[in-house]
Amino acid sequence: MALILGKRLSRLADAIEKQKGRGLTAHEVAALAMELDILARLASVQEQELQAHRLGESDRVRRDALEDEAGKSLRQLATDTDGIVVRPDFGRRS
């Protein structure tokens, strides 16, 4: 979509540049306004999509960091200073 937006904006700029010095008719102004409105909506959709991807990536990074910290904490809890592994008993009968 980004390529589509960029190309359409470039074509629109070229079309406006060609009209330089001649002026625009009411019909041409209306067509340009409609084209700009469409492009603005396309840009908005792309921004929302990009923000969703960034949020997903930041959530993944935070989740990985939390899992690492939890793992470190559990390893510290499970091993005492003498190197003896302490196994938690959750009420199971052996």
Q: Is residue 87 part of a domain?
A: no
Band the pLDDT of 52: cuts 50, 70, 90: very high
Q: Is residue 93 part of a domain?
A: no
CB 12 within 8 A of CB 32: yes
Contacts of residues 44-50 at CB distance under 8 Å and 24 or more positions apart, as own/partner, are 45/1, 46/1, 46/2, 46/5, 49/1
Q: Is residue 46 part of a domain?
A: yes
Q: Is residue 89 part of a domain?
A: no
Give the range among 32-46, 62-76, 78-92 with minimum mean pLDDT. 78-92
Distance CA 75, CA 15 (A): 66
Provide the pLDDT for residue 35: 92
The alpha carbon of 18 is separated from its chain's Cα centroid by a whole number of angstroms, namely: 37
Q: Is residue 62 part of a domain?
A: yes
Provide the pLDDT for residue 86: 66
Give the chain's domain count. 1
Higher pLDDT, 25 or 1: 25
Q: What is the pTM of this model?
A: 0.59
80 has a pLDDT exceeding 60 = no
Burial of 93 (0-12, 13-18, 19+ CB in 10 A): exposed
Q: Is residue 6 part of a domain?
A: no
Q: Is residue 34 part of a domain?
A: yes
